[in-house]
Amino acid sequence: MLIKIIHYIKRRWGMVNCKIGAFVNLSPTSHISCSARILGNIKLGKSLNIQRNVQILDNVSIGDDVDILDNVQIRSCGFFIQIGARVLINRNTTLLNQVSIGEDCLIGPNTTIVGGNHLYKNRSAPINTQGNESKGIIIDNDVWVGANVVVCDGVHIGKGSIIAAGSVVTKDVESFTIVAGAPAKKIRER
């Protein structure tokens, strides 16, 4: 019965070729591209715009009125990713592992936000056999992350902050602060 309901929903919204898992709830006010792949324990808000070649996998919660543009990958890898309401995630962006994004945020194109890291301290074992760890990344409300930014594991970006294009964020960013560079440093307050 559940499979029949999923096929009906896909036909109703013109998503016949979508790969949408059985545990995904869809809102009739959302637009989801036919090439989107949404699988796992996914909670989707209302009025979403999910464009071409987007992958949302594993354990993810997305708020209302969120825009996810082309070629975005959101994959929790056994952790949890939460995206608040009214967020824009621009093209070619990757969110991996443990990430929390607040409401009213802008994420620029080609941004990488990875809430995890490989373990590497044991010199006698190859790095790819040593496992992973995750401290997680928290991005508070009303944050603008520019294009081509990298946000590293363990970082907390405070409310109302701006991360300039091309920055590599390795440390916490205070609220209402503008940072830039690699590694990102405070330029001024907003």
For range 1-18, the mean pLDDT? 50
Of the candidates 168, 143, 154, 175, the one whose C-alpha atom is nearest the C-alpha of residue 99 is: 154
Contact by Cβ (8 Å): 70, 35: no
Confidence at residue 40, expressed as pLDDT on a 0 to 100 scale: 87
For range 70-74, the mean pLDDT? 97
- How many angstroms separate the CA atoms of 135 and 99, rounded? 9
Q: 95-99, 130-134, 155-159: lowest mean pLDDT where?
A: 130-134
Outline where the chain has alpha helix (H).
2-12
For range 37-49, the mean pLDDT? 90
Dihedral, CA atoms, 127, 133, 138, 139, nearest 10 degrees? 20
- The question of whether 7 is a catalytic residue gets the answer no
Does residue 23 or residue 90 have the better pLDDT? Answer: 90
- How many angstroms separate the CA atoms of 102 and 63, rounded? 9
Q: What is the mean pLDDT of the chain?
A: 89
